[in-house]
């Protein structure tokens, strides 16, 4: 199997990173760190290191000294479970899952996973099944269905579910074959533009790698918000755009909201679209996790964004990839794990007749760091050669990459990391708009510009839809 250094080298090379920069990265720790047959700790460490190294390279491009980047494997995998260790006024998170979310058997002896944390997704499942939202009623109704038929019907009704497939079953699907033709991260030039400049300089003033850069974050749950949180950790002004009517998971909003501004915009109204266009005109990065047609219908596709703001870096997150028959399909980490073979493989490794989840939402977290990495690498290219850029990542493609890293024999026998051990080593205490937070520090340690969040997590919609002045 590849070493962590070799894995990082491949990620770095995929975005045309300067090979010499890799000499300034220090990766410490041994795997496994948490119980899994997959290399989840290495996945967290190398994606976080890639983002940290991209920030360090932008710092060097600003004409300042080069700096080292160090990432400890244990700290990295803890950060990839940051939502577990968050405490608000010393209280742990409430139950994360809706009462009927989870795994069920179907009438053809298959397993399906339902994601019902958002009410409209729960209502869609219950409408298809013709039952009330009670676990026993859902299970009884599913015994009248074949797994694949239910998956198709639920998606058609606006739900999000997944049939548990083996890796071989997944690999035989057209969507898996489409992903096999795509890179881990796609960085494509989509328009002409001059390199951006401030006072005839290629970067705005500031004492951190991303100082003065403005990021619009239109995402929810974990992957996209983690990307924004990472960019904020390196100094970017990140504005999370949400709407009062959009469902959210409060605990995740707190954890991933550190370092961000947060505003409400009604995107379906003309006034709201005008507000977003005004913000976009002054932005450097537009990071979003909506389905492509949704934003295109409102005037904010990658190409439309490049017309509004030539030189923009537009980052697209999807569940199953930007090509193939499932390109428009909704999905979350737990569902992608289920449908692409991870739950089946982990269950078999544990001797379980049924699905077993990875011990972290690793597809989400690793994809979030890859989003941040891709955004920074594209922004660096914009500074060197101009152009507008489109970065594409997906949970399923990150899963494909993780699968190809190989398996750990006996990895499931690894003791899990307890909250007590984690809180003694990797946690900081900070104030917020919610109360006192104890939360995981960022695990990429830059020698000259330490990562930090200069803004506290705040309730959604706390700030006006306007950028702070650049220094």
Residue 393: give its domain's CATH number. 3.40.50.10540
Contact at 8 Å (CB) between 286 and 305?
yes
> Nearest Cα to 160, choosing from 228, 98, 108, 67?
98
pLDDT at 98: 85
User: Could you tell me if residue 163 is inside a domain?
Assistant: no
Query: Per the domain annotation, does 387 fall within a domain?
Result: yes
Residue 136 pLDDT grade (very low, low, confident, very high; cuts 50, 70, 90)? very high
Phi, psi of 363, deg, nearest 5? -65, -40
Into how many domains does the chain fold?
Answer: 1
The alpha carbon of residue 350 and the mean position of all alpha carbons in its chain are separated, in whole angstroms, by: 27
At 386 the pLDDT is 97
Considering the entire predicted model, what is its pTM?
0.97
Residue range 413-431: mean pLDDT, rounded? 87
Of 35-49, 82-96, 184-198, 436-450, which gets the smallest average pLDDT?
A: 82-96
Residue 386, domain member (yes or no): yes
249 — pLDDT class (breaks 50, 70, 90): confident
pLDDT above 80 for 419: no
Matching residue, tokens 């002004």: 237
Q: Which range marks the domain in which residue 425 is found? A: 4-94+176-323+358-446
Give me the pLDDT at residue 422, please.
80
Helix axes 40-61, 4-14, angle to 10 degrees: 50
Rounded Cα–Cα distance for residues 107 and 137 (Å): 14
**Looking at the domain assignment, is residue 462 inside a domain?**
no
Q: Output the pLDDT for position 64.
A: 87
Q: Which helix (H) or strand (E) holds 88?
A: strand 87-88
Question: Does residue 297 lie in a domain region?
Answer: yes
Does some domain include residue 134?
no
* Residue range 40-64: mean pLDDT, rounded: 97
DSSP string, 169-197: HHHTSHHHHHHTTS-SSEEEEEE--PPP-
pLDDT of residue 362: 98
pLDDT of 145 > 80? The answer is yes
In whole angstroms, give the CA distance from residue 4 to residue 44.
10
Q: Between 135-142 and 119-129, two packed helices, what is the crossing angle to 10 degrees?
A: 50
Note whether residue 364 is domain-resident.
yes
Q: What is the pLDDT of residues 350-404, one digit of tens each?
A: 999 999 999 999 999 999 999 999 999 999 999 999 999 999 999 999 999 999 9
Report the largest interatomic distance among the alpha carbons of the chain, rounded to a whole angstrom. Answer: 68
Residue 274: pLDDT over 90: yes
52 lies in some domain: yes
């Amino acid at each position: 199997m590849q070493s962590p250094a070799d894995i990082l080298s491949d990620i770095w090379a995929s975005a045309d990173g300067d090979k010499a920069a890799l000499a300034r990265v220090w990766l410490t720790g041994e795997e496994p760190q948490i119980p899994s047959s997959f290399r989840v700790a290495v996945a967290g460490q190398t994606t976080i290191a890639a983002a940290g190294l991209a920030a360090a390279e932008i710092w060097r491009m600003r004409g300042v000294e080069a700096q080292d980047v160090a990432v400890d494997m244990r700290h990295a995998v803890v950060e990839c479970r940051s939502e577990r260790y968050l405490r608000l006024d010393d209280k742990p998170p409430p139950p994360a899952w809706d009462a009927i979310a989870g795994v069920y058997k179907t009438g053809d002896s298959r397993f399906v996973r339902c994601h019902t944390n958002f009410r409209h997704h729960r209502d869609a499942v219950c409408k298809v099944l013709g039952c009330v939202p009670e676990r026993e009623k859902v299970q009884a109704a599913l015994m009248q269905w074949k797994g694949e038929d239910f998956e198709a019907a639920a998606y058609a009704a606006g739900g999000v579910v997944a049939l548990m497939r083996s890796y071989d079953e997944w690999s035989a699907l057209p969507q898996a074959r489409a992903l096999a033709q795509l890179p881990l991260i796609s960085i494509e030039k989509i328009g002409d533009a001059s390199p951006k400049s401030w006072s005839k300089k290629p970067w705005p003033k500031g004492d951190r790698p991303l100082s003065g850069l403005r990021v619009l974050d239109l995402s929810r749950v974990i992957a996209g918000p983690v990307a924004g949180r990472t960019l904020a950790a390196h100094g970017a002004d990140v504005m999370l755009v949400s709407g009062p009517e959009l469902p959210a998971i409060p605990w995740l909003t707190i954890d991933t909201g550190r370092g961000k501004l947060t505003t409400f915009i009604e995107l379906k109204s003309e006034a709201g679209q005008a507000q977003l266009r005004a913000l976009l005109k002054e932005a450097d990065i537009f990071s979003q996790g909506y389905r492509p047609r949704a934003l295109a219908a409102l005037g904010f596709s990658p190409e439309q964004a490049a017309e509004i703001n030539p030189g923009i870096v537009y980052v697209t997150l999807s569940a199953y990839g930007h090509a193939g028959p499932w390109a428009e399909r909704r999905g979350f980490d737990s569902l992608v794990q289920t449908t692409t073979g991870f739950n089946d493989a982990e269950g078999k490794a544990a001797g379980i007749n049924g699905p077993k989840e990875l011990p972290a939402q690793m597809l989400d977290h690793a994809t979030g760091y890859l989003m941040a990495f891709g955004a920074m690498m594209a922004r660096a290219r914009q500074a060197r050669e101009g152009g507008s850029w489109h970065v594409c990542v997906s949970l399923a493609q990150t899963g494909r990459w993780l699968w190809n890293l190989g398996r750990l024999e006996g990895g499931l026998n690894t003791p899990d990391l307890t909250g007590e051990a984690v809180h003694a080593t990797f946690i900081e205490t900070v104030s917020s708009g919610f109360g006192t937070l104890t939360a995981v520090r960022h695990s990429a340690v830059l020698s000259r510009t330490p990562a930090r969040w200069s803004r506290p997590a705040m309730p959604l919609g706390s700030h006006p839809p306007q950028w702070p002045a650049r220094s």
